[in-house]
Structure 1
Amino acid sequence: MYKRILVATDGSDLSNTAVGSAIELAAAIGAELVALYVVPRYPVSYFEGGITISVEDIARTEKQWSDKGQAVVDAVQEQAKAQGVTAKAVVAQSDLVAESIMSAATKHGCDLVVMASHGRKGIKRVLLGSETQHVLTHSTVPVLVLR
């Protein structure tokens, strides 16, 4: 069936549910797991001209975000290991979350992507966007969406 499953997580309760399901599925079918956390880049252009932000402050903030992401995927890796699943922890830095998820799936040879969806509808979806919807419509590998 599936040999390597990518699970995208942001550390939220909803994505933790998807992580748990991905680990259970991987354990049941003997698949490996790749846990991915996508860290956004610091939005420098948003503040351009308004306030001065030092390069050091930006680097420190991005490192904090990256460290948080690493902690999240490391926890997933430990949770998977406890259930006998081989897992790899991956942190990517990009503002294009959906593209990063699809790229990581390809790079790591994943044949299934598991992710959560908030199920937003109407104007909330338009305003907040939907990374899950983007992955669903553009991924070349199957996507399992959990709510």
Structure 2
Amino acid sequence: MTRSKQAMPPGKDRPSKPEKAFETSDVLVFLEDASVTSASVSHAQKIASAFGGQVVLVQVLCKPVNGNGPIDPVEWDIKKQKTLKQLGFLTKETEIANHPCRAELLEGQCVNQIKAFMEHRQGDIAASLRPRSDTDWHLSETAWGVLSSQSAAVLIIPDDALIERNAQYRRILLPLDGSSRAEAALPVAMKLARAEHAELIICNVLPASSLTELAAGAPKDERLLSLVRQRNEQAGKTYLARIRKRLERNGLRALVRISHGSDVRRALIDIMSKEYADFVVMATHGQSGHKDVPTGDVARYVLDNAQIPVLLVRPRNNPDSNHAFGKVSSTGVRQPAGTD
């Protein structure tokens, strides 16, 4: 029986829709094959747990395109059943208490299937395992499908980045360059740090200062460069100190790190090592990134060289989204200096 809607009396405000206490995001791990070890999926379990979702192991069964005629339906069915059996074993191995894990099997062209699957799950996290020994890992169809999907975030896990199920991340690295794009990762990092009781390391790599070489060097040039360096360093410290204050007001522990270097990419890898970071959260694009590519140059370099898992957050904030990243914002972090 359908209940009819009643009109609100004149002058009465319509009741607002109740907000959910916790928004959820699943972690969809797209596998090259179902023989992956459960240990490398443990990171996906931790992220899914932090965002109130579950892990979904997804494999695309690709039909060979060799021009030799139609596929034998019996052979194809045998292949499907074998893959489903392997996925079943893997889901049982990766399940932890109160956090079920399930599997999905897709059929067709790999990249198209991944994109189509994520088209209906844009609020979830698309994940892939990165073979440490393969420098061209991102060229695989599975990895490329994950990187180019429209998911809210992308999780890339080195296949040998192991972690015990009951262990927690101790230090989470959050690179920021002062742009609103980079800050899209801030609320996500906060939520993960809170769930893991981890310390946030917020860092900024200062740009290299230089003057054009077209003009001959003048005695005042070095003085000018020194003033620019001092100005940039002070601006970076002020910016990160303001963010740190907000994090601490939210009950989070945070460290500030300022780095100098002509190559931001290598500087970030160096910070990860020196600070013993367990995990990285950053935006897919910073202030210099171009949105017509899945990731910026800095993010891609970090994915290629990080020894730890990396969660890339897409810098978009659609207020109508109903997922863990859709309604979080860094409001109050970026504000005019001196207004604290």
Give the shorter-chain TM-score range.
0.7 to 0.9
Matched letter for residue 7 of structure 1: L
Aligned to 1:97: 264
Aligned to 2:292: 121
Aligned to 1:71: 238
Cα distance, 1:43 vs. partner?
Answer: 2.2
Alpha-carbon RMSD across the aligned residues, in angstroms, is 1.7
Query: C-alpha deviations, 1:48-100, integer Å up to 9, x for none?
Result: 14254521110001111111111121122112101111100110011111111
Alignment of 1:12-27 (within 5 A): 12-27=179-194
Which 5+ residue runs of structure 2 have no aligned equivalent? Answer: 1-167, 315-340
1:140 to 307, 310, 314: 307
C-alpha distance in 2, partners of 1:21/1:75? 18
Aligned to 2:252: 85
Q: TM-score, normalised by structure 1?
A: 0.87
Partners of 2:247 and 2:253 within 8 A in 1: yes
C-alpha distance in 1, partners of 2:185/2:243? 11
Matched letter for residue 278 of structure 2: D
Partners of 2:210 and 2:225 within 8 A in 1: no
Query: C-alpha deviations, 1:109-138, integer Å up to 9, x for none?
Result: 11011111236335xx8xxx6100110111
Partners of 1:10 and 1:72 within 8 A in 2: no
Cα distance, 1:20 vs. partner?
Answer: 1.9
Which one has the largest radius of gyration?
Answer: 2
Matched letter for residue 62 of structure 1: R
Counterpart secondary structure, 1:48: coil
Which 5+ residue runs of structure 1 have no aligned equivalent? Answer: none
C-alpha distance in 2, partners of 1:63/1:86? 27
Cα distance, 1:142 vs. partner?
Answer: 1.0
C-alpha distance in 2, partners of 1:139/1:29? 20
Counterpart secondary structure, 1:54: helix
Matched letter for residue 6 of structure 1: L
User: Does 2:195 correspond to 1:28?
Assistant: yes
Aligned to 2:136: none
Aligned to 2:34: none
User: Which has the higher relative contact order, 1 or 2, with Cα contacts under 8 A spaced 6 or more apart?
Assistant: 1
Partners of 1:27 and 1:83 within 8 A in 2: no
Aligned to 1:48: 213
